[in-house]
Amino acid sequence: MLKIVPDPPPTPVTLEDTLTLAADYALCAEAVAQQALLTQPRSPAAPLIMASMHELESLRRLLESALLQIHHPPSRHPTH
């Protein structure tokens, strides 16, 4: 018997894996919103789609910033 629903992706084990996966999902969601806007540019929902695209782009930037902070943590100076 064929499975209709595929198995979910393996659970990420590190924070970096989780952030990378979240950034990938945000990129896919942004692509879907762009395609929706291209297929129905004069739709009454177009402003909402554009707002969603903007929010998803902001989310991706935040996730990329978090990934950079994991790779290059800010140096901590001792406080006196």
pLDDT tens-place string over residues 22-33: 999 999 999 999
pLDDT in tens, 26-73: 999 999 999 999 999 999 999 999 999 999 999 999 999 999 999 887
Which pLDDT belongs to residue 80? 64
Name the token pair of 31. Answer: 């692509």
Q: Which domain holds residue 32?
A: 15-71
Q: How confident is the model at residue 12 (pLDDT cuts 50, 70, 90)?
A: low
Residue 2, pLDDT score: 78
With respect to residue 43, please indicate whether it lies within any of the assigned structural domains.
yes
pTM over 0.85: no
DSSP state of 4: S
- Number of structural domains (the chain) is 1
Alpha carbons 34 and 41: distance in angstroms, whole number: 10
- Domain contains 7: no
Q: Give a yes or no: residue 22 inside a domain.
A: yes
46 assigned to some structural domain: yes
C-alpha to C-alpha distance for 54 and 26, rounded to whole angstroms: 11
Rounded Cα distance between 34 and 31, Å, is: 5
Name the nearest CA neighbour of 54 among 79, 26, 16.
26
